[in-house]
């Protein structure tokens, strides 16, 4: 059985900085999410608030409020905010310490490692709980340099990249993974961020925590592990940030390390400025596609939309516009599913369709 978990996301649930909590509410293969902490949305159903689909995950105003209303204390306390600075606020230290005192293990998604903090470590010993610093990298002696082994893989590798951070790359990748599995295909998913790992991805690495010299090799190693262990029909690789983004190099390493044959680009048409850098304009979708194709030497085979701030009509109109102007299938997987993407894969990789047919016949 899955361990139970409550996700801390004060004032950020449903926003860009709440992407870890958002992702766990949508899908969690590792933990059973029993609540979200966000006083600004207290009393709501998390699924109803996030995407108008109730999922019986309540939003609580505080940790104390949650423990008063839950039948059992959750096994895990997950820090579900992804702030750009990556550190605990002073008041949040007390909340995490209280969770430990209540017997909850801590899942820390920040760049600040709680296992390096004497107070947290003393608390973990005193109350018999564990701390999991998801972004803490392995020792350098255990890291991998790029080896070139990935150049011999014949299995299709598809990367889901984007035009900014927190635009839904992981969400699209996870939904696509499940849709392909429903077609009977053997799919391997490689996570590249903390949320995907917490959700239960079997393969992956929090790439933004890895020293730059090893980033490409660590991605290659995870793709190779998935390839060798699963013998998959297709490999889906989660993107991070954006190749054009001035503050992040993750996309560069993901492309170089995974060597994708095809690429999907996720884009929020209504976002005018970069999420954590409001003084900088978003790139155009066309400019990002051109940059990706030039850098990767691979083709962008589809576009997926983040519908933040958009009406249903605007989404449909944008889909039509992009398909006409860019000549690639376009969809919003949260609203319309993955049929267009899968049909495109069958066009690009005909062998996938034949494998699907064999599975369906059997």
Q: Enter the tokens of residue 310.
A: 């958009």
Per-residue pLDDT of the chain (362 residues; tens, 9 = 90+): 789 999 999 999 999 899 999 999 998 989 999 999 999 999 999 999 998 889 999 999 999 999 999 999 999 999 999 876 768 888 899 999 999 999 999 999 999 999 999 999 999 999 999 999 999 999 999 999 999 999 999 999 999 999 999 999 999 999 999 999 999 999 999 999 999 999 999 999 999 999 999 999 999 999 999 999 999 999 999 999 999 999 999 999 999 999 999 999 999 999 999 988 989 999 999 999 999 999 999 999 999 999 999 999 999 999 999 999 999 999 999 999 999 999 999 999 999 998 885 544 44
Contact 22, 12 (CB under 8 A): no
DSSP state of 10: T
CB atoms within 10 A of CB 190: 27
Q: Enter the tokens of residue 290.
A: 């051109």
DSSP state of 2: P
The CATH code of the domain at 3-133 is 3.40.50.720
DSSP string, 260-328: -SEEEEEE-TT--EETTEEEEEPPPHHHHHHHHHHHHSSEEEEEEE--TT--HHHHHHHHHHHHHHH-S
CA torsion sign, 35 to 28 to 333 to 83?
Answer: positive
Ranges of CATH 3.40.50.720 domains, the chain: 3-133
Q: In whole angstroms, what is the distance from residue 106 CA to residue 128 CA?
A: 11
Per-residue confidence (pLDDT) for residue 361, from 0 to 100? 43
Q: In whole angstroms, what is the distance from residue 102 CA to residue 70 CA?
A: 13
Per-residue confidence (pLDDT) for residue 357, from 0 to 100? 58
Q: What is the pTM of this model?
A: 0.92
CB atoms within 10 A of CB 32: 14
Closest CA to 188 of 123, 229, 235: 235
CA torsion sign, 343 to 203 to 191 to 55?
Answer: positive
Ranges of CATH 3.40.50.300 domains, the chain: 142-361
Q: In whole angstroms, what is the distance from residue 10 CA to residue 12 CA?
A: 5
Top-level CATH class of 142-361? alpha beta
Contact 42, 59 (CB under 8 A): yes
Per-residue confidence (pLDDT) for residue 87, from 0 to 100? 81
């Amino acid at each position: 059985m899955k361990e139970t978990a409550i996700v801390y996301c004060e004032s950020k649930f449903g926003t860009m900085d709440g992407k870890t909590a958002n992702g766990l509410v949508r899908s969690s293969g590792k933990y059973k999410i029993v609540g979200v902490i966000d006083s600004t949305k207290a009393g709501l159903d998390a699924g109803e608030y996030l995407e108008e689909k109730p999922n019986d995950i309540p939003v609580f105003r505080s940790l104390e409020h949650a423990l008063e209303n839950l039948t059992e204390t959750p096994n895990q306390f997950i820090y579900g905010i992804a702030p750009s600075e990556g550190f605990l606020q002073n008041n949040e230290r007390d909340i995490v310490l209280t969770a430990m005192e209540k017997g909850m293990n801590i899942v820390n998604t920040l760049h600040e490692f709680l296992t390096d903090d004497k107070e947290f470590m003393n608390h973990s010993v005193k109350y018999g709980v564990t701390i999991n610093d998801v972004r803490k990298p392995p020792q350098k002696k255990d890291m991998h340099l790029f080896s070139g082994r990935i150049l011999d893989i014949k299995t299709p590798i598809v990367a889901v990249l984007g035009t900014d951070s927190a635009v839904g790359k992981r969400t699209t990748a996870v939904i696509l993974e499940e849709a392909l599995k429903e077609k009977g295909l053997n799919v391997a998913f490689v996570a590249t961020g903390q949320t995907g790992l917490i959700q239960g991805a079997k393969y992956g690495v929090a790439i933004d925590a890895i020293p730059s010299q090893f980033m490409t090799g660590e991605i290659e190693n995870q793709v190779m592990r998935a390839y060798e262990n699963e013998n998959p029909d297709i490999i889906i690789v989660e993107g991070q940030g954006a190749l054009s983004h001035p503050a992040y190099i993750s996309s560069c390493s993901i492309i170089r390390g995974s060597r994708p044959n095809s690429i999907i680009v996720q884009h929020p048409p209504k976002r005018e400025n970069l999420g954590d850098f409001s003084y900088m304009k978003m790139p155009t979708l066309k400019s990002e596609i051109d940059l990706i194709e030039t850098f990767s030497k691979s083709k962008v085979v589809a576009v997926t939309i983040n519908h933040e701030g958009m009406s249903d009509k605007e989404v449909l109109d944008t889909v039509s516009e992009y398909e006409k102007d860019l000549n690639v299938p376009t969809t919003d997987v949260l609203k319309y599913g993955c049929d267009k993407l899968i049909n495109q894969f069958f066009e690009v990789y005909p062998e996938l369709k034949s494998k699907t047919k064999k599975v369906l016949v059997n």
